[in-house]
A and B are shown apart, each in its own frame.
Chain A
Amino acid sequence: NAGVTQTPKFRILKIGQSMTLQCTQDMNHNYMYWYRQDPGMGLKLIYYSVGAGITDKGEVPNGYNVSRSTTEDFPLRLELAAPSQTSVYFCATLGAGGEFGDYGYTFGSGTRLTVV
């Protein structure tokens, strides 16, 4: 099982550019989340989705957009990148039963984004 796959792993953007961070899961989990982690800090929730077609804002949604057209994919879109968006981005999923041993939460390996 691949679990949660995030691409790319690293990216450097110029101010004002746009990009999409990809998150794909093969566990058929309904719930998916995007977090950002600034240097030396904990994770903060950007957006989440409770199923295909349903998304909602988290704590720090400004400057980002999401869509959820399928159960598997939950891309995060950055429009007009700013230096304040330099961060590590984690995608996570939640499924019932906790079969992955963490009471359902499975994290991707992260995307390290630098905006210059």
Chain B
Amino acid sequence: AQKITQTQPGMFVQEKEAVTLDCTYDTSDPSYGLFWYKQPSSGEMIFLIYQGSYDQQNATEGRYSLNFQKARKSANLVISASQLGDSAMYFCAMREGNSGYSTLTFGKGTMLLVSP
């Protein structure tokens, strides 16, 4: 079974609108972390936001917020007020446990295109 599932291969949004990118995960470890990364066409991996399994509040970083629904095992990324520069591939990733032995598992990604 896949540990990270991103069901949206591609998403389109108009500039200044909000968009939600879906991510569901599967783990039996009570301690885990969820990450979102942005990969623009230049190829680098850019960290966006992190949510720990024990965090009580949803994580926010500027225009990015993570809608963490633990019971549903979902960790959707919400981008408010989309910008043209948000056009990129977005990856959800999970780390089970909390040590260096705990490696990141990535989803297949969602391509976001922002139009003027």
* Inter-chain contact B109/A42, CB cutoff 8 Å: yes
A74 at the interface (CB under 8 A from B): no
- Nearest CB to that of A42 among chain B residues? B106
> Whole-angstrom distance from the CB of B64 to the nearest CB of chain A?
13
Q: Which one, B13-21, B39-47, B65-73, B75-83, is touching chain A? A: B39-47
Chain B residues with Cβ below 8 Å from A75 are none
* Inter-chain contact B47/A102, CB cutoff 8 Å: yes
B103 at the interface (CB under 8 A from A): yes
A45 at the interface (CB under 8 A from B): yes
CB proximity to A under 8 Å, residues B86-111? 91, 93, 100-101, 103-109
Known contacts: A103-B33, A103-B35, A103-B50. The answer to whether A45 contacts B103 by CB under 8 A is yes
> Whole-angstrom distance from the CB of A64 to the nearest CB of chain B?
15
Q: How far is the CA of A9 from the CA of B35 in the complex (A)?
A: 26
How many residues from A make CB contacts under 8 Å with B?
25
Chain B residues with Cβ below 8 Å from A107 are 44-45
* Inter-chain contact B103/A43, CB cutoff 8 Å: no
Known contacts: A45-B104, A58-B103. The answer to whether A109 contacts B47 by CB under 8 A is no
Known contacts: A43-B106, A50-B100. The answer to whether A102 contacts B50 by CB under 8 A is yes
> Whole-angstrom distance from the CB of B94 to the nearest CB of chain A?
11
Residue among A41, A42, A105 with most chain B CB within 10 A: A42
* Inter-chain contact A94/B100, CB cutoff 8 Å: yes
Shortest 9 CB-CB contacts between residues of A and residues of B: A31-B100, A102-B47, A42-B106, A107-B45, A43-B106, A42-B108, A50-B100, A103-B50, A45-B103
